Amino acid sequence: MTHRIDHNLAAPAGMKALGHVYGYVMTSGLDPALVDLVYLRVSLINGCAYCIDMHSRDLLAKGVSTEKLVLVPVWREARPLFSETEQAALAWAETVTRVADTAVPDAEYEAAARVFDAKQLSDLTIAIGLMNTYNRLAISFRAAPAAVAKLTGAA
């Protein structure tokens, strides 16, 4: 896989704006580990190797077990490993990320709204949208995952 362009260099103002949104999410009051879990799930859905690698490493660094990490794609079958809040966030991440297919049904919204207040749900949705944007940048421009870059010396 050949890296196409460095979007950070090509569009620094746009990347800075996305960085401000990331900063907002990280200071929103949402648990940082929950945000990383959502970022990982969104990236798994989108097939973004760069972001899967990054957020897996972030979660491991935050003390999330390997067993839990590898079961994120099938969290419904591994519910006992995930808190009620994590389950609600993962379900919301899935329906919002797949919005073209799901149209975010009322039942999905109501389930999320039972766990998150209006601000939390808004902030979580901003985080989901942000990660979908980052996934599209990394996939489109072929950003190498850290594990691959380390192995191949790619940037």
- Output the 3-class SS for 68-118: HHHCHHHHHHHHHHCCHHHHHHHHHHHHHHCHHHHCCCHHHHHHHHHHCCH
**Residue at 107 is within a domain:** yes
**Residue at 140 is within a domain:** yes
CATH code assigned at 24: 1.20.1290.10
The whole-chain average pLDDT of the chain stands at 95
How many distinct structural domains can be found in the chain? 1
d(CA 9, CA 54): 20
Mind listing the pLDDT tens digit for each residue in 86-117? 999 999 999 999 999 999 999 999 999 999 99
Q: Is the pLDDT of residue 1 over 70?
A: no
**Residue at 130 is within a domain:** yes
Tokens of 37: 């879990």
**Residue at 2 is within a domain:** no
**Residue at 125 is within a domain:** yes
Q: Which of 5-9, 39-43, 109-113 has the lowest mean pLDDT?
A: 5-9
**Residue at 1 is within a domain:** no
Domain span including residue 87: 7-152
Predicted pLDDT of residue 151: 77
Predicted pLDDT of residue 146: 82
